[in-house]
Structure 1
Amino acid sequence: MADPMETQSKAAAIAEAQTGKHVLDIVEAQLRRLGATHILVTGLPMPNRPIDGLVHRFRWADERAGGIERSDLDTEDGALMLGLMRNRAFVWDVTVGDMEHSELFASLGGETRVVVVPVTETHPFQAVVMGGGAHLEAGSVELSNLELICNTAFRRLIDLGVLSTQRPGDLSARERRVLELTALGKTASDIAGLLDISQRTVHAHLQNASAKLNASNKTHTVVEALRYGQIRL
């Protein structure tokens, strides 16, 4: 079982680290202790936006013939989408079906396990830390400790200026507020009165948010805004 004092020590080391490399080295070492042979630490892009510039560590050898490079990452890769599924760390047993929808999974070279750690404490910025390996093992305590380390790491990367919490395609503050009120059941008339703007402006904000989130209607826009961390209820 993981030693909580050791985890606190690592979190403290991250908080005192002076370079992004040092921070990422600590995260990678923790993943490798759990049996990970493949490592990915990356921000998650908004819909229809590239992942370039958001990847901070990519140690993901391709076990098949050929290779997978950082530049090959697809924002719609099924493995990356796991980072948007939940708010807590979990272990995913990769199946043959998963490999059909993910180059990252396929490159592992066979059925294996992946630990997925959604980074949730850098709102509205979203990130995910992943480690894959045939012999990976992580219980509830190890997952909780890993969450602490990964969230601490991303906060430190922000403090060091290694990454910005602003992503291309993020909603504006007013677009977020309009969507939050919409999610709470407020009508355009209600929102216009609360924010002292016209109903036409309310609809414009909703349309802009829908376009940024690649959503098909108002309900879909709210769902996607929640999924991509743009609003919270």
Structure 2
Amino acid sequence: MNNAAVGELFAAISAIDDSPSSDRALEVFQGVLNRYGLNNFLITGLPVPQDSEWHREILHDGWASEWFARYESEGHFLYDPCAARSRLATEPFLWHELRAGRLTTRASLVMDEAAEFGMKDGLCVPIHMPLSGPAVVTAASDRMEIPPGAMPLIEALCVHLFRKISRLESKSGAEEGKPLTPRERELLEWSADGKSAEDISCILGVTMNTVESHHRNIREKLNATNVAHAIVKALRRHEIQI
């Protein structure tokens, strides 16, 4: 790994530490990932496999929406070998390393389907912090290009990002004291169920403008960038169930 690449990673770590918002920190992180051929990533806590509300632990969902929908509909979290290893591991690992072990048929299916969605290989950086449950920063793509010697710095980058996002989200959550109305929760639950704004307007018997107005209010209350982000935040606040 050349000095320029090392310097870029150190600069990215500093930029994440100095980021005023989660969006800025994630933008810096995404820029680094792109240089290594990684275009999908997820930052999440890792509750027990049987937890049906594991979504509430997500800090940022950067997976392709099609893969996330498939992962959820098939109940892959319960069998995900990356999540299982990350709960116990203290060192980063690459997805293909899991193949060297003995995966169950169901765990192999998770990895095979991920490959079908363009995530043939990836990396996981387990996060273990005092007084917190296990977590992971994971990234993947159809082709990684990580040079020798880069993994320790990538690990440092992921740890800094996780801590930064956790602090910012905790601060944001403390400032988000206004709860959703029953109508807003109902509407957001339909969105979480995969319904479009047009679908919801028909289901609830309201206009599209009303649905869009509710969505704007929901995003403002939750400080969310889009509907998917709002769903994750509402789940973490236990305001909706899916």
Report the TM-score when normalising by structure 1. 0.57
Per-residue CA shift, 1:103-160, capped at 9, x if unaligned? 3651321782211111234553321111122221324522111111111112212322
Tell me the equivalent position of 1:14.
16
Tell whether 2:80 aligns with 1:92.
Answer: no
Q: What is the SS of the residue equivalent to 1:17?
A: coil
Relative to structure 1, the CA distance from residue 116 to residue 80 in structure 2 (aligned partners, 3 Å threshold; closer, same or farther) is same
Q: How many residues align?
A: 163
- CA-atom RMSD in angstroms: 3.5
Contact 1:157 1:163 in 2 (8 A): no
Report which of the two has the higher share of helix. 2
Question: Which amino acid in structure 2 is aligned with residue 117 of structure 1?
Answer: V
Q: Distance in 1 between matches of 2:125 and 2:112?
A: 16
Per-residue CA shift, 1:198-225, capped at 9, x if unaligned? xxxxxxxxxxxxxxxxxxxxxxxxxxxx
Gaps of 5+ in 2: 173-242
Q: Distance in 2 between matches of 1:111 and 1:9?
A: 27
Relative to structure 1, the CA distance from residue 37 to residue 15 in structure 2 (aligned partners, 3 Å threshold; closer, same or farther) is closer
Contact 1:51 1:73 in 2 (8 A): no
Q: What is the SS of the residue equivalent to 2:56?
A: coil
Q: What is the SS of the residue equivalent to 1:18?
A: coil
Tell me the equivalent position of 2:113.
106
Relative to structure 1, the CA distance from residue 63 to residue 125 in structure 2 (aligned partners, 3 Å threshold; closer, same or farther) is closer
Q: Distance in 1 between matches of 2:11 and 2:114?
A: 34
Q: What is the SS of the residue equivalent to 1:74?
A: helix
Q: What is the SS of the residue equivalent to 2:157?
A: helix
Q: Distance in 2 between matches of 1:11 and 1:120?
A: 19
Contact 1:44 1:54 in 2 (8 A): yes
Relative to structure 1, the CA distance from residue 108 to residue 117 in structure 2 (aligned partners, 3 Å threshold; closer, same or farther) is same
Q: What is the SS of the residue equivalent to 1:36?
A: coil
Q: Distance in 2 between matches of 1:56 and 1:73?
A: 19
Gaps of 5+ in 1: 165-233
Tell me the equivalent position of 2:144.
136
Q: Distance in 1 between matches of 2:24 and 2:31?
A: 11
Contact 1:34 1:137 in 2 (8 A): yes
Question: Which amino acid in structure 2 is aligned with residue 126 of structure 1?
Answer: P
Per-residue CA shift, 1:37-96, capped at 9, x if unaligned? 3222211114533312211232333788x953667662442232231242111222165x
Relative to structure 1, the CA distance from residue 61 to residue 161 in structure 2 (aligned partners, 3 Å threshold; closer, same or farther) is closer
Q: How does 1:16-95 map to 2 (within 5 A)?
A: 16-46=18-48, 48-49=50-51, 50-61=53-64, 68=70, 74-93=77-96
Contact 1:118 1:127 in 2 (8 A): yes
Q: Distance in 2 between matches of 1:108 and 1:5?
A: 32
Tell me the equivalent position of 1:169.
none
Tell me the equivalent position of 2:6.
4
Q: Distance in 2 between matches of 1:160 and 1:35?
A: 27
Offset at 1:99? 7.7
Relative to structure 1, the CA distance from residue 141 to residue 122 in structure 2 (aligned partners, 3 Å threshold; closer, same or farther) is farther
Relative to structure 1, the CA distance from residue 128 to residue 99 in structure 2 (aligned partners, 3 Å threshold; closer, same or farther) is farther
Relative to structure 1, the CA distance from residue 27 to residue 57 in structure 2 (aligned partners, 3 Å threshold; closer, same or farther) is same
The percentage of counterpart residues that share the same residue type is 21
Per-residue CA shift, 1:151-188, capped at 9, x if unaligned? 11122123224489xxxxxxxxxxxxxxxxxxxxxxxx
Question: Which amino acid in structure 1 is aligned with residue 41 of structure 2?
Answer: I
